[in-house]
Amino acid sequence: MKRTVLISVLFFISLLTYAQKADNKEVKIAQVNLSVNMDCSACEANVKKHLAYTRGVTSVVADHETNTVIIKYRTKRTSVDKLIESLKSINYAASVQKSNCNPDRQRAARSCCTQ
């Protein structure tokens, strides 16, 4: 009887410990809008494919007409600087877009939406 109670108590304690560890592993997803110089749909595909295989990236939406790339990523696995460096490694210049960027205005003046 004592043995059963002891095993039950140990199981309950291990279950609580596991639950606490699960709470500490909250995944934080952030989003960044980058301005990337892309000339055509092939450039867009290259950027999407490369970023899709970058550690921590959960989704990529690219548009070569507005030179915009929207990336959702895990903050514990990567950062904006690492994403920009990743694009530089495949010869694409990238920078963070300003928050009040208007894509129609960006077509007229390519540098309006970069910091």
Residue 61 contacts by C-beta under 8 Å, 6 or more apart in sequence?
Answer: 69, 70
pTM: 0.66
Q: Residue 111 above 50 pLDDT?
A: no
Number of structural domains found in the chain: 1
Placement of tokens 């600087």 in the chain: 81
Characterize 73-107 residue by residue with b for buried, 16 or more Cβ atoms within 10 angstroms of its Cβ, and e for exposed: beeeebebeebbebbeeeebebbbbeeebeeeebe
Examine residue 20 and state whether it is found in any structural domain, yes or no: no
Task: Tell me the average pLDDT across 5-30.
Answer: 69
Residue 57 lies in a domain: yes
Q: Percent of the chain at pLDDT above 90?
A: 60
Residue 44 lies in a domain: yes
